[in-house]
Amino acid sequence: MQHQFKDPTPPKPPINKPIPGPSPKDGYCAARDGFLQAHRIQNVQQLMDYVLHELGSPQICVELDQQTMLYAILDIVQWFHKYYYGYGAYQDYLIMELQPGKHKYKLCQELQSVVDFKTTNWFGSINELFTVPHALLYDQVLSMNNTWNGACYGNSAAYGDVLGSWTATLTWMAEADMMFGEKYQVKYNEYEQELTVYPTPKKPTKGLMKVYKRQRTEQMFNDPIFRKMLVAHCGKLWTNRLRKYQLQLAGGGTLGADSLYAGYEKDYDWCVERIELESPNGHVLEVS
């Protein structure tokens, strides 16, 4: 018996779909400096290779093991977080909701410090224009034309009309907030990542918290001061181990490790000075 085989159905021709164009985000990234983007240090291994190259490898045998370099990177990262405000730790704002009867809060954010905490209400109302202090004191400030006379204050056309009344309102509310506003004292323990609030809240209260967040570690790898400081730190560790030896050069000369150490120490001190100059002159804890 002969079997008749049918020809297989030919495949359908492929549909040529148009290649999607770059999105606005891709177009934005394409405008960046291609050379800098191609040579960015993206991980710890690349950073260690950079440090070894700056110390003279492979022309010079740099005797630094990987674990020592990891510890050195950790030291500089923590140093930046603690002292380089504005870069190693940057300013941000968080919304905090206080719970009745609770005065300790565990924070999952990578915070270096809490600078300020300000509640969003006086007596339970989000809008301060409708609070009890404003209702009691608003009319008094607008009747003080003899005291607040000028183009900015008062409730009549001679004293600024609507804009003047609004300016007077804001000025008075700021003064009333200092006297009648709801206030808490906060203290942040960076090692426990715990925020303590005094006095213990008696009702739910929302507030805006000004903080300094720690910069992500890999974002600091391409900062010139970070890299210079890391190279200097690793150079000090390496040359300090070589101080018991006298290096013999190929041409017959010698090179002492003390002079190498002094050079790296000078670079390290320069980085510390630059960070002190670029960082804010401390920050004061303000709570309200």
Assess if residue 54 is contained within a domain: yes
Assess if residue 102 is contained within a domain: yes
Domain range for residue 228?
Answer: 43-86+216-280
Q: If pLDDT is split at 50, 70 and 90, which confidence band does 5 have? A: very low
Assess if residue 32 is contained within a domain: no
Task: Using the predicted structure, report yes or no on whether residue 231 has a pLDDT greater than 70.
Answer: yes
| Residue located via tokens 């209702």 | 135
What does DSSP say about strands 205-214 and 89-98: parallel, antiparallel, or unpaired? antiparallel
Same domain, 64 and 147: no
Distance CA 5, CA 98 (A): 79
Assess if residue 179 is contained within a domain: yes
Assess if residue 140 is contained within a domain: yes
Same domain, 208 and 232: no
Same domain, 77 and 131: no
Report, as an integer, the average pLDDT of 226-254: 81
Helix (H, G, I), strand (E, B) or coil at 273: helix
Helix (H) or strand (E) holding 92: strand 89-98
Distance CA 55, CA 57 (A): 6
Assess if residue 119 is contained within a domain: yes
Same domain, 110 and 185: yes
> Which of 214, 229, 251 corresponds to the end of one domain?
214
Q: If pLDDT is split at 50, 70 and 90, which confidence band does 254 have? A: low
Q: Give the pLDDT confidence score for residue 138 in this predicted structure.
A: 59
Report, as an integer, the average pLDDT of 149-155: 46
Find the angle CA(249)-CA(252)-CA(254) to the nearest 5 degrees. Answer: 50
**35-44, 160-169, 221-230, 278-287: which is most confident:** 221-230
Mean confidence (pLDDT) of the chain = 75
Q: What percent of the chain has pLDDT over 90?
A: 20
Same domain, 206 and 96: yes
Q: What percent of the chain has pLDDT over 70?
A: 66
Same domain, 81 and 97: no
Give the lowest-confidence range in 8-12, 73-77, 189-193, 245-249.
8-12
Instruction: Give, to the nearest 10 degrees, the angle between helix 257-278 and helix 224-242.
Output: 150
> Which of 161, 181, 214 corresponds to the end of one domain?
214
Same domain, 210 and 112: yes
Q: If pLDDT is split at 50, 70 and 90, which confidence band does 125 have? A: very low
Q: How many domains does the chain have?
A: 2
pTM: 0.64
Q: Give the pLDDT confidence score for residue 225 in this predicted structure.
A: 93
Distance CA 179, CA 235 (A): 57
Distance CA 73, CA 86 (A): 20
Same domain, 111 and 171: yes
Q: Which of 76, 82, 83, 40 is nearest to 190 (CA)?
A: 82
Same domain, 79 and 116: no
List Cβ neighbours of 100 (8 Å cut-off, separation of 6 or more): 201, 202, 203, 204
| Residue located via tokens 């500089």 | 76
Assess if residue 144 is contained within a domain: yes
> Which of 214, 231, 263 corresponds to the end of one domain?
214
Assess if residue 66 is contained within a domain: yes
